[in-house]
């Protein structure tokens, strides 16, 4: 039976170890630990909980105090969840080149996102977080150096791994690194409790700062004061910042690794896609990169070896990155062929969509309501719409942008459900306009059309002539392309 959890924070951790059946060589046992099963979709949920609760225990973080952190996204998303549940305001600093959906997720969780120039790299966003903390008295979680980051991985991630392989033993553990918390905490426990396990650390092949052997330049205060000389921009968001995090230094000093693996960015993209298409495992680019490293290990491992790689996050963090660049929005040729293989419900006009047959008389009350609505001189702009329609939402955005007062009749709302009033009004509208879709927009009782018809009239200027003719208000100073307000999945070419 499923347990009842005290809060969302109690669901962090205990992520599954899953066998790879279709992509790995047959002579080894290849597994992945899928951290996307954490509540906010990444391994950084562990970090977020660990550093916040550690600061609470030590009295360093006081109730209501603002938390500030520099992040490429996943730590900020995890912190936003923890801070929302615990009641701490959160400000994150993030370089502008990280994926847009990460900003939106954090803001949706009520965090504030302060962007820093891409040219300043990870160092810039860390420096900005430090500036803000000093200026405003905020608490910095210091994910790249906070021992509580590594400690929660020693207490949870490492223990879960040992338990998952208690019966067979683990021969290889493959990971990348971002803050260094996972690598630090897990390697410490594996070296102590499973010394046979070889630890392989992945880096971008064009930005192998650890494998370079070059020490991180640091100032007199011990903080890095410049980018690592071996750093180069790379595809793996969240992996390998432009400096060696302090949490990595004990790993290097104690030799808690057996080898470094260089990972090509294109190979990371390929592996990420193959995990989805051949294993049904939907993860991000850094996960694909780690998996690429695991395949390198598997190719050389002895028969029967047990190999585990870390998959840090979900693929939904990467929709606006190169990972999805070649994923079609419109139907492909193959999909169009499938569509044309049957006669109905097509976009190309080659078939006919069966129309629903309604032989009932038009409802008199519905006819009167439509007529009265369209004749109302106090509300010349009318939209017959649906509450849950993205095209209707786009029209509302346009009306709001131009400050056009309008009346909307949402025919799927509760108010129109009694005795199928909404359906009866739609029948009247179809008989009047010949259209069976919504929204339907009228100005001064005259039918304008639907969403894109309205947009075209805005672009041509004819909409404003209509509004002027009926003394309808609008903000003439607004200049915008209404098509940018369409749903994100549908933009005209």
Rounded Cα distance, 193 and 172, in Å: 14
- The widest CA-to-CA distance across the chain, in whole angstroms, is 86
What tokens does 394 get? 């786009």
DSSP secondary-structure letter at 358? -
Beta partners for residue 67, in sequence order: 90, 139
Of 286, 305, 385, 394, which is the active-site residue? 286
CB 351 within 8 A of CB 392: no
Backbone phi and psi for residue 470, each to the nearest 5 degrees, phi listed first: -115, 20
CB-based burial label for 209 (10 Å; 0-12, 13-18, 19+) = buried
Using DSSP, state whether 403 is helix, strand or coil: coil
**Cβ pair 383, 404 in contact under 8 A:** no
Strand, helix or coil for residue 191: helix
| Structural contact between residues 161 and 192, judged by C-beta atoms closer than 8 angstroms | no
Q: Of the residues 33, 44, 246, 424, which is catalytic? A: 44
The 3-state DSSP composition of the chain as helix, strand, coil percent (nearest 5) reads 45, 15, 45
Annotated active-site residue 430? The verdict is no
Rounded to the nearest 10°, the torsion over CA 311, 316, 318, 324 is 110
Give catalytic status of residue 302 as yes or no.
no
Q: CA-to-CA distance for 205 and 208, rounded, in angstroms? A: 6
User: Which residues 6+ apart lie within 8 Å of 39 measured at CB?
Assistant: 8, 11, 12, 45, 81
The residues, any chain, with a CB within 8 Å of residue 306's CB and separated by 6 or more, are: 28, 29, 31, 165, 168, 169, 170, 171, 172
Residues classed as catalytic: 44, 286
């Amino acid at each position: 039976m499923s347990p009842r959890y005290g809060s969302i924070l109690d669901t962090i951790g205990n992520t599954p170890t899953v066998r790879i059946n279709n992509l790995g060589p047959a002579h080894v046992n290849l597994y992945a630990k899928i951290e996307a099963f954490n509540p906010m979709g990444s391994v950084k949920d562990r970090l977020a909980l660990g550093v916040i609760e550690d600061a609470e225990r030590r009295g360093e973080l006081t109730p209501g105090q603002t938390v500030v952190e520099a992040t490429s996204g996943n730590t900020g998303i995890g912190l936003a969840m923890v801070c929302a549940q615990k009641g701490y305001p959160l400000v994150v600093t993030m370089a502008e080149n990280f994926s847009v959906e990460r900003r939106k997720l954090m803001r949706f969780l009520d965090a504030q996102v302060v962007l820093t120039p891409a040219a300043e790299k990870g160092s810039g966003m860390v420096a900005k977080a430090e500036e803000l903390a000093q200026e405003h008295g905020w608490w910095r979680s210091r994910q790249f150096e906070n021992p509580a980051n590594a400690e929660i991985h020693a207490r949870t991630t490492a223990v879960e791994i040992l338990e998952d392989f208690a019966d067979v033993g683990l021969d290889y553990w493959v990971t990348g690194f971002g803050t260094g918390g996972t690598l630090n905490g897990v390697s410490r426990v594996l070296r102590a409790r499973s010394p046979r396990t070889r630890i392989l650390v992945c880096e971008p092949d064009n930005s192998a700062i650890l494998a370079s052997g070059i020490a991180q330049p640091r100032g007199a205060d011990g903080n890095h004061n410049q980018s690592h000389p071996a750093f180069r921009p790379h595809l793996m968001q969240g992996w390998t910042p432009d400096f060696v995090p302090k949490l990595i230094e004990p790993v290097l000093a104690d030799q808690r690794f057996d080898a470094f693996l260089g990972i090509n960015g294109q190979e990371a993209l390929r592996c990420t896609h193959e995990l989805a298409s051949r294993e049904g495992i939907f993860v991000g680019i850094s996960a694909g990169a780690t998996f690429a490293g695991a395949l390198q290990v598997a190719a050389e491992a002895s028969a029967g070896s047990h190999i585990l790689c870390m998959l840090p996050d979900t693929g939904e963090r990467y929709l606006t990155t190169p990972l999805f660049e070649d994923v079609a929005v419109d139907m492909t040729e193959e999909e169009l062929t499938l569509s044309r293989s049957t006669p109905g419900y097509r976009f190309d006009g080659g078939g006919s969509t069966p129309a629903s047959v309604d032989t009932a008389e038009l409802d008199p009350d519905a006819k009167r309501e439509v007529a009265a609505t369209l004749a109302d001189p106090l509300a010349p702009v009318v939209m017959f719409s649906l509450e849950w329609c993205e095209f209707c939402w786009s029209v509302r955005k346009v009306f709001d942008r131009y400050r056009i007062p309008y009346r909307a009749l949402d025919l799927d709302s509760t108010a129109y459900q009694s005795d199928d009033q909404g359906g009866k009004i739609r029948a009247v509208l179809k008989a009047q306009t010949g259209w069976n879709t919504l929204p339907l927009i009228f100005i001064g009782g005259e039918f304008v059309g639907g969403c894109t018809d309205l947009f075209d009239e805005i672009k041509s200027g004819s909409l404003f002539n209509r509004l002027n003719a009926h003394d309808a208000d609008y903000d003439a100073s607004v200049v915008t392309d209404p098509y940018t307000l369409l749903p994100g999945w549908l933009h005209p070419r």
